[in-house]
Structure 1
Amino acid sequence: MGAVTSSMAAKFAFFPPNPPSYKLVVGEHTGKLLISDVPHRENVDVLKLCTKRGNEIVAMYVKNPSASLTVLYSHGNAADLGQMYELFTELSLHLCVNLMGYDYSGYGQSSGKPSEQNTYADIETVYRCLEEIYGAKEEDVILYGQSVGSGPTLDLATRLPRLRAVVLHSAIMSGLRVMYPVKRTYWFDIYKNVDKIPLVTCPVLIIHGTADEVVDCSHGKQLWELCKEKYEPLWLKGGNHCNLELYPEYLKHLKKFISAIEKLPNPSSGCQQSTDQPEPPRNSTDQREKSRPSIDQREKSRPSTDRREKSRASTDRREKSRKSTDRPEKARSSTDQPERARNSIDRFGDMMRSVGLCNIDCFKPTASGI
């Protein structure tokens, strides 16, 4: 039964570009992996990474020599690294961060088939690469999840107590809730973000368009209400599911968020630790390494974990909203001011118009039906 529901959910949720927008090529002089049909940049590494579920996924790492933080970006539906390449390099430049993006299993040139469990393994593999190859520390990482990418982003965030911050862009409460206005979580639902977000202890920024016809803005607002550490959200008036990057306020707000996050005390001091959910002490790199087996064994224990999350979520919803990192009143003012999609600063708008980011039909049933 579980396999049937997972298969059904996959038909609704996953739309890898077909054919992929890029190929992998080997540089003639360097012997390094490159993404085809995009400008070659010396500060971009292209990697193939093996996940614990046996898939080989493609990732790209954009280095910024002035960066103190690293963003791990999980992209939306019907997109792959060929389409996201320019956005990733521009975000790294303008936000002054290192940025790691990746293709889920079955997307782009990554092997395997898309599934909820595969995306969890995919993001774990990429996060581990950041730690082991690029020396990133948990307290200096920001997880960024767009649309479907909010699922693996929040799943990983619940298990990283010293994480610096989370950004949720056009995020979903759960896969089923995108299609039906259900009020409870069913066992066969996928990406139960509404139950997981109360367990995230770091600051969370929510970005959502008020005219989103794919994932209604109510998803973003409900997730924001359930955040423990709220940051001033960005409700882009008139924004839909796939064009938020074209609004000047998008980049301005992200810059403001990154600046605020950089000024916060380092989470390794313990000040970001949740008072409601005690975590095992992790005082050193060695202890973080020892904790990895619990991550690797997550798939075996996920059913019981989900039940615990469901229980905690029901308790957390009864709590009053905690203090925001920035005052919520400011957030409402940004909702009231209309924004129009127009050319943005620093070439950003012009660049984005040449990039296809997301399929407007994501989450809708396939033509063949189910």
Structure 2
Amino acid sequence: MGCMFSHLAAKFAFFPPSPPTYHLTKTPDGKLSAVSSSASSSSSTFPAAGDTSLDVRVVKTRRGNKVAAFYLRNPNARLTLLYSHGNAADLGQLFDLFVQLKVNLRVNLMGYDYSGYGASTGKPSEYDTYADIEAVYECLQTEYGVDQEDLILYGQSVGSGPTLHLASKLPRLRGVVLHSGILSGLRVLCHVKFKFCCDIYSNVNKIKKVKCPVLVIHGTEDDVVNWLHGNRLWKMAKEPYEPLWIKGGGHCNLEIYPDYIRHLYRFIQDMENTTTKSRLKKIWQEINRRDESRGCCSSFGLCRPKCPRCPKPSCDCFGECEGCCKCSCPSLKGCFSCCKKPSCVGCWCPKFKCCCSCFGKKKPKCPKCACWKCLKCPEFECCCRSCCCCAGCFSWLCCCGGGRRKEEERRGEITVAKSEG
């Protein structure tokens, strides 16, 4: 049933130009070249055969389709842009834009047609586009030596789907650009906050897995994909870059605005200046910042006793027991000198909120237990030796002080036994 819905959704999601605006031919030396279709007035003028600035390739995908791809070479480039185009376009219509981006951004650029688009074989579908971009990325690696650290993924409209699919799998990717991106296919048609089985391109979930800077570009007057899609994608990104909201921009005309190329150029420059070492340093700084905001010794969510060496000794044990293991007990010495397992979960005692029921151990029988003052309680032995974090530890009064008393008695018995021996 899910496959049927997905197939039905694909019919409404993909509109390849018909007929294609270009076709591929072979030169006398056996190389592929692109030729504009005479039937299309909007087709671009491709360079003459033998021009080394353009490589035309056909890449086979894991789903058996053959995908057409253009690689535009810039001798001054440091980074490569992998461009996934929008819905109703093919490489013939986008070639002039590719040339402008290659020159103005000083990048190498790889563009490709989805299965069923342009000179690519097969029929378009969500999973075919995933296989398409994976095959093109593999081609960049094997044929051009492009690693993910030197790659920026660019997705326009529907192209944001395969772009985020690949970005979520590449942890060392340099950057991502989402141009009029979508949250999901169904959310373009109606404003919903949940997923249907027939939905496609669940970008709203995949963007959470992207670990590189994300630039979002969106027009405020986009009547195809509402601006709210881009705004939410930007807010959900782990490492959002300063977005570009083009005032008055629609869905297919953002490239004509001067801010478009200016902002995109600045993003490319920032990505060129970003190294793996600087990115790791930034990530560690963010992790340390989060730990400090959680309070003392909050790594891995463990609750620890007051530590003199900690700049913020304020463990709150997930907010359940204030001042966990931070009591005024006079026998508490330092941080871990007495308590070997200072984990406090589900504390029971209202006044001394620490060791009474750690890990579900035995609780005190006295409902008015005042911890170390519990010597007044006739059943003060309730949790002296059973407490998980104080078993065998007698320098800490535990929850009621009986532990130390028992130890003193035990030591006295041993001394008497030795003297009698």
Distance (Å, rounded) in 2 between the aligned partners of 1:175 and 1:88? 26
- The structure whose RCO (Cα within 8 Å, separation 6+) is larger is 1
- What residue number does 2:23 align with? 23
**SS at 2:110 equivalent:** strand
Distance (Å, rounded) in 2 between the aligned partners of 1:269 and 1:229? 11
Structure 2: runs of 5 or more not aligned: 37-44, 288-421
What amino acid is the match of 2:8? M
Deviations 1:29-66 (A, max 9, x none): x4321111223143110000100000000001011111
Contact 1:162–1:272 under 8 Å retained in 2 = no
Distance (Å, rounded) in 1 between the aligned partners of 2:86 and 2:25? 24
Give the superposition deviation at 1:3: 2.1
Q: 1:96 aligns with which of 93, 106, 112?
A: 106
Structure 1: runs of 5 or more not aligned: 277-370
Deviations 1:62-111 (A, max 9, x none): 11111110000000011001111111121111100010000000000100
TM-score (norm. length: structure 2) = 0.63
TM-score (norm. length: structure 1) = 0.72
Deviations 1:158-184 (A, max 9, x none): 010000000000000000000011111
Which structure has the larger Rg over C-alpha atoms?
Answer: 2
Runs of 4+ in structure 1 off by over 4 angstroms are: 267-276
Distance (Å, rounded) in 1 between the aligned partners of 2:281 and 2:60? 35
**SS at 2:152 equivalent:** strand
- What residue number does 1:35 align with? 34
Matches within 5 A, 1:226-237: 226-237=236-247
Identical columns (%): 58
Give the superposition deviation at 1:6: 1.0
**SS at 1:122 equivalent:** helix
For these two proteins, the number of residue pairs brought into alignment is 275
Q: 1:207 to 1:269 in 2, by over 3 A?
A: closer
Q: 1:267 to 1:171 in 2, by over 3 A?
A: farther
- What residue number does 1:311 align with? none
Contact 2:176–2:214 under 8 Å retained in 1 = yes
- What residue number does 1:174 align with? 184
What amino acid is the match of 1:193? N
Q: 1:271 to 1:186 in 2, by over 3 A?
A: farther
What's the C-alpha RMSD, in Å, of the aligned pairs? 1.6
Contact 1:69–1:98 under 8 Å retained in 2 = yes
Q: 1:272 to 1:6 in 2, by over 3 A?
A: farther
Distance (Å, rounded) in 2 between the aligned partners of 1:43 and 1:268? 33
Contact 2:68–2:119 under 8 Å retained in 1 = yes
Q: 1:272 to 1:22 in 2, by over 3 A?
A: farther
Deviations 1:134-189 (A, max 9, x none): 00011010000000000000011001000000000000000000001111122321
Contact 2:82–2:111 under 8 Å retained in 1 = yes
Matches within 5 A, 1:14-163: 14-28=14-28, 30-37=29-36, 38-40=45-47, 41-163=51-173
